[in-house]
Structure 1
Amino acid sequence: MDWLERIATLRQWARNGARAPHKPLLLLYALARFQKDADGGLRYTAVEHDLQNLLTEYGPPNRTTPAYPFHHLVSDGVWEVRTDRGTGSPGTARRELRETGATGRLAPELRAALRREPDLLGRIARLLLDLHFPPSLHGELCEAVGLELEPAEVERLVPARRQRDPRMRELVLTAYEYQCAFCGYDGRIGAVPVGLEAAHVRWWAFGGPDDIDNGLCLCSLHHKLFDKGVLGVDGDHRILVSQRFVGRSPAAREHVIALAGRPLTGPQPGVRPVAAAHRDWHTRQVFHGEPRPAAAA
């Protein structure tokens, strides 16, 4: 059985590029638990809080519940659920999962394959990360679920997957004249820029092209905050700051809160700005909550 292909083709709700990382997050969490206890199960009542936190932190802005992937992942053949009544999930109602003692774990065949092939767990985890999350969040997400992975290149496992354009970084940084579009940071060591990155507005994993009008030159801090939904861009190419962001220090106020309503720095004349379709996708699928009012001048 090709477990990598099965993982790459998980059944997910999808419409107009909507994010639905519920099953990938549950699988990453389950793989981390398997690393620590290959025979253990995940009782819903014991892991519900952890899974809800993961969905809140790394899922789409809309409300969601960990009961959804806990039940529906069974249909993909990689997960099983047992209750006090026997084999099978009682449904997606939290109350039913709690009251029946629902316990989930990786399917027996997958557990056996993970034992036979020591590197399979890491390959599955990296595939999940690559397909569903931007690179800026991979390390942080592994820490959040407790996964321990060896540094390695993501293997190209599915022939139909697109290849990234290695020129995008240089094209985007040049378009923004090697300055962070949010704060203007332009640090270099000699002639080499440091701490500047090409951020995809619409994530590459969700059909975002390697085009200049889907990119922003951002410093490392603002790239991470942009991918976490703290920051965004509105229709007038001004910076959005989520009301959910809390920072009381002078640094947080200066480097994040004060950005609200500020116009983007760049791109240079003659270069296409961020396309409305990509900007709108980010606002719907990544940006969290309502934007703060523009900071006072």
Structure 2
Amino acid sequence: MDWLERAAELRQWTRNGTRAPHKPLLLLYALGRFQRDADGELRYSAVEDDLKRLLDEYGPPHRTTPAYPFHHLVSDGVWEVRTDRGPGSPGSGVRELRTLGAAGRLAPELRAALRREPPLLGRMARLLLDLHFPPSLHAELCESVGLEPEPAEPERLSAVVRRRRDPRMRERVLTAYEYRCAFCGYDGRIGALPVGLEAAHVRWWAFGGPDDVDNGLCLCSLHHKLFDKGVLGIERGSPRSWGSPRSSEAESGGEAESGGSHRILVSQRFVGHSPAAREHVTALAGRPLIGPQPGTRPVAAAHCSWHTDQVFHGNPRPAPVS
């Protein structure tokens, strides 16, 4: 049985690029628990809060109860559920899972395969991360679920992950934005090499986002992470909708912008009271993007819309009054 294929083909809601990482998150969590206790099981009432936290932090803006994947993952052949009454899930209702003492764990055949071939766990984890989350979130997500995956061999995964990333995208995007963060203008280098600058996919590669300049942003490491976590977003709209535009010097420390009508969104759910949090996050609300340079395609409206619908959390803050 090819467990990597099973993990790659989890049944999910996929219409119009909708994110539905509920099953992958539960499976990653279960793999992390198996790594620590191969014989243990996950009682729903004991892990419900952990699963809620994972869905809140790494799931789409539209919240779903963790009871949904706890029940439905059984149909993918990698998970089993029993209750105080015996084998079988009582359904996807929170009350039933709690009152009947529902407990889940990896399917017996998968547990046996993981014992026979320990590197399989790392391969499955890496596959789930690559298929459902951007690279900027992989390390912290592993930490959140208690996983310590071993590096997976690319050739073992290439047959399952049938798309290949374009290694030239980073250079193209950084060049388009003249090696400056599109949100804050950071342009640090060590010698001739840029440091702390990354090419961010607006529509995630895992959800069909192309390796094209009009799906990319040059962002510093901080703003890339906040963009992928849904704290920051971008919107293509009339500058008038954000109030009076500020001067380019006020916007970017004296550097000119050419982001047109693309404006930065900051989630109202973000809380930060320090001067640093205000300067680096909340003060960005309503600012135009820095770049791309003239003659380069800006971020496509369809990719902006996908990120706003599937990643950005809550409502945007109004632009600060200057």
TM-score range, shorter chain: over 0.9
> Of 253, 256, 276, which residue of structure 2 is paired with 1:251?
276
Q: Does 1:279 align with 2:304?
A: yes
Residues 213 and 275, structure 1, Cα contact 8 Å, conserved in 2: yes
Which residue is 2:166 aligned to?
165
What does 1:1-297 correspond to in 2, within 5 Å?
A: 1-152=1-152, 154=154, 155-158=156-159, 161-236=162-237, 237-297=262-322
Deviation at 1:151, TM superposition (A): 4.0
**Aligned AA for 2:126?**
R
Change (3 A) 1:83 1:159: closer
Residues 119 and 150, structure 2, Cα contact 8 Å, conserved in 1: no
**Aligned AA for 1:169?**
R
**Aligned AA for 1:293?**
P
**Aligned AA for 2:293?**
Q
Q: CA RMSD in A?
A: 1.0
Q: Distance in 2 between matches of 1:160 and 1:128?
A: 10
Q: SS of 1:172's equivalent?
A: helix
Deviation at 1:84, TM superposition (A): 0.8
Residues 234 and 279, structure 1, Cα contact 8 Å, conserved in 2: yes
**Aligned AA for 2:129?**
L
Q: SS of 1:234's equivalent?
A: strand
Q: SS of 1:213's equivalent?
A: helix
Residues 4 and 157, structure 1, Cα contact 8 Å, conserved in 2: no
Deviation at 1:161, TM superposition (A): 1.4
Q: Distance in 2 between matches of 1:180 and 1:35?
A: 39
Deviation at 1:160, TM superposition (A): 6.2
Change (3 A) 1:4 1:152: closer
Identity value in percent: 82
Residues 178 and 217, structure 1, Cα contact 8 Å, conserved in 2: yes
Residues 182 and 219, structure 2, Cα contact 8 Å, conserved in 1: yes
TM-score if structure 1 supplies the norm length?
Answer: 0.98
Q: How many residues align?
A: 297
Question: Unaligned regions of 5+ residues in structure 2, if any?
Answer: 238-261
Residues 71 and 92, structure 2, Cα contact 8 Å, conserved in 1: yes
**Aligned AA for 2:289?**
L
Residues 197 and 223, structure 1, Cα contact 8 Å, conserved in 2: yes
Q: Distance in 1 between matches of 2:19 and 2:46?
A: 26
Deviation at 1:118, TM superposition (A): 1.1
Deviation at 1:158, TM superposition (A): 2.9
Residues 25 and 54, structure 2, Cα contact 8 Å, conserved in 1: yes
Residues 45 and 98, structure 2, Cα contact 8 Å, conserved in 1: yes
TM-score if structure 2 supplies the norm length?
Answer: 0.91
Residues 227 and 233, structure 2, Cα contact 8 Å, conserved in 1: yes
**Aligned AA for 1:239?**
I
Cα deviation digits, residues 35-94 of structure 1 (max 9, x gap) = 111011000000000000000000000021100000000000000000011111011100
Deviation at 1:214, TM superposition (A): 0.1
Q: Distance in 2 between matches of 1:183 and 1:194?
A: 15
Residues 5 and 157, structure 1, Cα contact 8 Å, conserved in 2: no
Change (3 A) 1:58 1:192: same
**Aligned AA for 1:74?**
V
Deviation at 1:296, TM superposition (A): 2.2
Q: Distance in 1 between matches of 2:313 and 2:293?
A: 29
Q: Distance in 1 between matches of 2:178 and 2:18?
A: 32
**Aligned AA for 1:172?**
V
Q: Distance in 2 between matches of 1:117 and 1:73?
A: 23
Deviation at 1:149, TM superposition (A): 2.0
Deviation at 1:156, TM superposition (A): 2.6
Residues 122 and 151, structure 2, Cα contact 8 Å, conserved in 1: no
